[in-house]
Amino acid sequence: MGGRRGTVKRRAGRSALVAVLTAAAAVLVPIAAATPATADPVGFSKATLHFQVSVGPNRDEPCDAIGDVYKPDSASVSNRVPAVLTTNGFGGSKDDQAGIATYFASHGYAVLAYSGLGFGGSGCKIYLDNPEYDGRAASELVSFLGGEDGIAFGDPGHTLPVSGLDYIVQDATAHNGKAEANDPRVGMIGGSYGGSVQFAAAAVDPRIDTIIPMITWNDLSYSLAPNSTGQTTGVSTSVPGATKVLYALGFGAFGVTDPQVSGYVQDPARAAGCPNFANDACPALNQTVVQGYPNPASVDFLRQSSVVSYADRVKIPVLLMQGEKDTLFDLNESQATFETLQAQGNDVKMIWQSWGHSDYAPAEGEFSLDHLDPEAQYETGRIVDWFDHYLKDTGVDTGPVFSYFRDWVEYTGNAAPAYAESSKIKVGKDYSLYLSGDGSLAGRRDGIVPGTQTLNTLPGGLPTDVEAPNLRPDLRVPQGTIPGTQAQWSSGSLVDPLYVVGAPTLNVRVTATPAVAGVEDAVVVFAKLFDVAPDGGEKLINGLVAPVRITAPGEPVKVTMPAIVHRFDAGHSVRLVLAGGDPSFRGGLAPHQVTIAAGDPGQELVLPVTGG
């Protein structure tokens, strides 16, 4: 695309923001003893502590959480400082947050970086960021930051008590308008699994003042088995879509193996039932992979750990940061969360960055998890301003409501020139291309002609083509498609570049043989948008795919595809593909012959386009 990009070096496998299947995940072992506090030349000390947190609906399930407390040298009872609470992504540990902690501790914040439940030396099982478990664990740590005793200890056996902190700024009232005990001035930050937990914590604890969730989900049932039609709220749908089998399988395997033998020996209860997961997790993950979509019980379980279910309990300012290259938690999820929070009156802003789970190397001058530099990095600057505004009351501007990275913009240094800024999140104007019976995407209604295309889906939800996995869509793999399993429409060569920012939508009508009775034997097809170069080479944009489960063939279907920020260069063309299967998903179990009778003006691809 011609945009100048740099690579940010990251510790292999220690990033809180990596995808659940990142093969470079570090070996994680429980820490057996407290690490003594040590002086640091940049102006803070660090101590490793164990925290006895009580979780569950009745707060009667004890867990040991391990964390590092970073204290600025200047902090004292007479010189109180605000606090930052941060935790890891799936499969990580507190150590992943050392870069964030080091920066903020050296700039006047106390920081508590902890390993989430089930990970990195912390006990108990993985509850998928459920508010009653992970949210309450974070709430206990907020109490410690606020000065409460009886929570922190210098050893994993909880025999060496450590007093609650007495050097954190205290708030007179929480965000429920009431005076709460042990109420520190505190914000949270983290990515992926460490992003969702912030919503869970804010939902159960009004003392938390602001959060910065990065590359995380709105509805976990959509994340793992999206349906791109039939939306009820945000990305949530009344009918489930198709399971992301690679993510779902790896998600389960990674969580089960994370504690290793030593972790299970130390805490045998983690092996009971569903190993290292809440007991409902194994049936849900197994069922969605075998059946190809989650059943209602599995959907309910996944949504319990999703902000879509409890956003109305989150009343604080939120800075959302989501990745354009993210096949796990796509941009639509952040937009759904943004719109919900904005509608209920939250101060909320959103950044669409270049990187995400399927490409976690930020562009030059965006962000570095290990070495934060607000002067050199656009996102870091926004993060620092946000916390300074809400936790230090500096009054610094927190930036535009919406900004998004454009990889076609040339720049050096800080990535700010590559970010477009807007006071609203819907920046594109509709540009329609009509599905024509001759296989073209016509730019005018009077340019379409009648005609049909057919495609076949395979039994058992098998893939119908070969392409790079959604975990790493940039991998070079041999391409191939089983004949008769896809339909496609292409535009003519573009005279001028076409800039798309937002979610393309597809209005289409299909018929199917044999007839469909319901969800179980529904037609499942996969909508894909390609950028086709003048030499015929095609690229699936950011590896994004829109599964569509159709329970009533013959009726019009509106498909909301994953949002993109993309430039189609002059001379290139737009290609829409409907495929009968995809190697990264489990398709429909029943085979169908699917017919699309194009030539109807109502069948169109709508692209949200901007001026550049």
- Domain membership of residue 99 (yes or no) is yes
Mean pLDDT of the chain: 92
- Taking only the tens place, the pLDDT of each residue in 492-518 is 999 999 999 999 999 999 999 999 999
Q: Give the CATH number of the domain where residue 493 resides.
A: 2.60.120.260
Range of the domain at 306: 38-422
Q: Confidence band (pLDDT; 50, 70, 90) for 30?
A: very low
Percentage of the chain modeled with pLDDT above 90: 87
> Is there a single domain that holds both residue 457 and residue 377?
no
> Is there a single domain that holds both residue 463 and residue 523?
yes
Q: Confidence band (pLDDT; 50, 70, 90) for 603?
A: very high
Does residue 357 have a pLDDT over 60? yes
> Is there a single domain that holds both residue 131 and residue 267?
yes
Quick one: pLDDT at residue 600? 84
> Is there a single domain that holds both residue 126 and residue 237?
yes
**112-121, 122-131, 251-260, 378-387: the lowest-pLDDT one:** 251-260
Quick one: pLDDT at residue 163? 98
- Domain membership of residue 49 (yes or no) is yes
Give CA–CA dist 129/126, Å, rounded.
8
Q: Confidence band (pLDDT; 50, 70, 90) for 5?
A: very low
Q: Confidence band (pLDDT; 50, 70, 90) for 474?
A: confident
- Taking only the tens place, the pLDDT of each residue in 210-256 is 999 999 999 999 999 999 999 999 999 999 999 999 999 998 998 99
When pLDDT is averaged across residues 417-432 and rounded to a whole number, the result is 97
377 burial type by CB count under 10 A (0-12 exposed, 13-18 middle, 19+ buried): buried
The string of DSSP codes covering 366-428 is: T--SSS--TTT-HHHHHHHHHHHHHHS--------SEEEE-TT----SSSGGGEEEESSS--P
> Is there a single domain that holds both residue 478 and residue 512?
yes
Quick one: pLDDT at residue 445? 93
- Domain membership of residue 29 (yes or no) is no
Quick one: pLDDT at residue 21? 33
Q: Give the CATH number of the domain where residue 52 resides.
A: 3.40.50.1820
- Domain membership of residue 321 (yes or no) is yes
- Taking only the tens place, the pLDDT of each residue in 524-556 is 999 999 999 999 999 999 999 999 999 999 999
Out of 377, 392, 422, a domain closes at 422
When pLDDT is averaged across residues 410-421 and rounded to a whole number, the result is 98
Quick one: pLDDT at residue 29? 28
When pLDDT is averaged across residues 116-144 and rounded to a whole number, the result is 97
Out of 365, 387, 422, a domain closes at 422
When pLDDT is averaged across residues 394-404 and rounded to a whole number, the result is 97
Quick one: pLDDT at residue 19? 35
Count helices and strands (H / E) in the chain: 10, 33
When pLDDT is averaged across residues 63-72 and rounded to a whole number, the result is 97
Does residue 586 have a pLDDT over 70? yes
- Domain membership of residue 222 (yes or no) is yes
> Is there a single domain that holds both residue 360 and residue 211?
yes
Dihedral sign, CA of 162, 163, 168, 173?
Answer: positive
Quick one: pLDDT at residue 13? 33
Coil, strand or helix at 13 = coil
- Domain membership of residue 113 (yes or no) is yes
Q: Confidence band (pLDDT; 50, 70, 90) for 1?
A: very low
Distance of CA 455 to the CA centre of its chain: 32
For 123, 162, 415, 419, 593, the CA distances from 422, given in Å and listed in that order, are: 44, 47, 16, 10, 44
Number of separate domains in the chain: 2
- Taking only the tens place, the pLDDT of each residue in 50-64 is 999 999 999 999 999
Does residue 8 have a pLDDT over 50? no
Longest CA–CA separation in the chain, Å? 79
In this structure, are residues 378 and 414 in contact, taking their beta carbons and an 8 Å threshold? Answer: yes
How do 83-87 and 44-55 pair as beta strands?
A: unpaired
- Taking only the tens place, the pLDDT of each residue in 303-340 is 999 999 999 999 999 999 999 999 999 999 999 999 99
pTM (2 d.p.): 0.92
Quick one: pLDDT at residue 9? 32
Q: Confidence band (pLDDT; 50, 70, 90) for 42?
A: low
Q: Confidence band (pLDDT; 50, 70, 90) for 375?
A: very high
> Is there a single domain that holds both residue 552 and residue 405?
no
> Is there a single domain that holds both residue 314 and residue 414?
yes
> Is there a single domain that holds both residue 452 and residue 337?
no
286 burial type by CB count under 10 A (0-12 exposed, 13-18 middle, 19+ buried): middle
Percentage of the chain modeled with pLDDT above 70: 93
- Domain membership of residue 402 (yes or no) is yes
Out of 422, 437, 458, a domain closes at 422
Angle formed by the axes of helices 245-257 and 281-291, to 10°? 150
When pLDDT is averaged across residues 143-170 and rounded to a whole number, the result is 98
Does residue 129 have a pLDDT over 70? yes
In this structure, are residues 27 and 260 in contact, taking their beta carbons and an 8 Å threshold? Answer: yes
45 pairs with which residues across the strands? Answer: 39, 71
> Is there a single domain that holds both residue 454 and residue 404?
no
> Is there a single domain that holds both residue 256 and residue 275?
yes
Coil, strand or helix at 116 = coil
> Is there a single domain that holds both residue 211 and residue 117?
yes
Does residue 25 have a pLDDT over 70? no
Give CA–CA dist 494/483, Å, rounded.
28
- Domain membership of residue 10 (yes or no) is no
CB neighbour list of residue 501: distance below 8 Å, 6 or more residues apart: 404, 420, 427, 428, 563, 564, 565, 608, 609, 610
Q: Confidence band (pLDDT; 50, 70, 90) for 185?
A: very high
